[in-house]
A and B are shown apart, each in its own frame.
Chain A
Amino acid sequence: MGAHDADNNLSAAVRSVIHKVAASGAENGPREIPLCKVYVTDINPEDASNLLRILSRILPLSDGLSHLKRIRRVPCISTPKGFTLEVVLCREETWLHRGQHTTKELSRFQYEARLATVPAAAPLSKDELKKWGEYWPLIYKPGREQHTPLTPIELRRMFIHANYVHDKSKEVAQGNSPVVATLVHPESNAIVAESADSSQRATNTKGDKTIPTNSCLAHAVINCVSAFAVPHSESARHRKRGLAISESRYEETGEKKSPLPVDQYLCTGLDCYVSREPCVMCTMALVHSRIRRIIFVAHNNDQLGGLSEAKVHCEVALNHRCEAYFLPVLAVHCDK
């Protein structure tokens, strides 16, 4: 078997186990349809334009229903045109609150509202649009949650770096949590920082009920971000010389030139590999640092996971979002 085949096998094996962590879950195959109840009514096609104008004023579909088309056509033989139109009025709850005001305006059309079940969220893929659309016609905006598939080269590199932190985590000194994190510059595939967890768990001092404050928060990711951080004064000096910060570091150690840009801001564009899912603090530290991707090897049984549970990395309220992947390296079976 040639090296080329082995590479292909490896990337295929990684692709089969890697799991993207995101808010919706749509990126890992079809989801269960979230449903909700709304009030709908049949209307005369002649009234449609008039009524829609009124509805958009008194009952806008702004309360999380903007993914629904307002109106749909239902085939009906008994009517002269061969179809009737159905219109979404509002959510069940909204009807209870605002029904009285609206019935007054709607009463002149003499429609009867009834409950219907519709998807509660926007579809994120064409498959979902097709399936969910059977309940009610939906608006689908492609692109917002589109996912570019990982290339075979990316998958192989991700495996190698994930495997590295996994192996390293076994060497961590006893007493500390066996967690190791690295920062990787994806274009050059170089590891630009590496740190292990050096926190002392408070449980060690359970007897006297006191907590040593020192290094309690020195988690692997925090250490790694701090190790990569460069004081502003220093970076300004190098900037003046037209050197990347880390270039000077590389100069000192006599290694090859740094791949990082001169104006590197925090951890922009870097990938973080960590042997165990980062806690909320570490995840937010990475988001603050403008990380590009977070890849973790194992789930976190001790702390609230910042990715799979708190989902801090894809929170739209924050000023930066990043991709996150769960890559259980031990599950990758392949002839290397």
Chain B
Amino acid sequence: MAEPAGGGPRPAEGLGRVLVAVYAVFALAAGARAAVQLSTRFSEAPVAYLLSALAAVVYVVATVGLARGGRAGRRTALVACAVELTGVLVVGVLSLADRAAFPDETVWSGFGQGYGYVPLVLPVLGLLYLRAQGRPPRATA
């Protein structure tokens, strides 16, 4: 798919918009969860709850990056998806290995099993989508 002339941002459409919708739902879910956890019982598990907040921020950034499109949007989304994939893998392993550090669920606990493992699949889909979007338009001779 070609960028418009001038290379300005092209907002997500088609399948990209579906991806944005899923990311927006997770931004909402993770954001609400982190807000509740941080405001009502931060001292119980500061590490887990700060990770919850980080996850929320990452989802918001990825949503905005994917929705805006263009070079800058894609690059922003790329970083967010990479952090997200790293986060879900690291937190997934840690939450299984060290239950004491994660007494309460975060979006990324157990590789996102509380959310049907969507948090594990989502960054991969995001990265695949970004790779497809980043390809130069087919040369038409």
Q: Do A and B bind each other?
A: no
A-to-B contact residues, CB < 8 Å: none
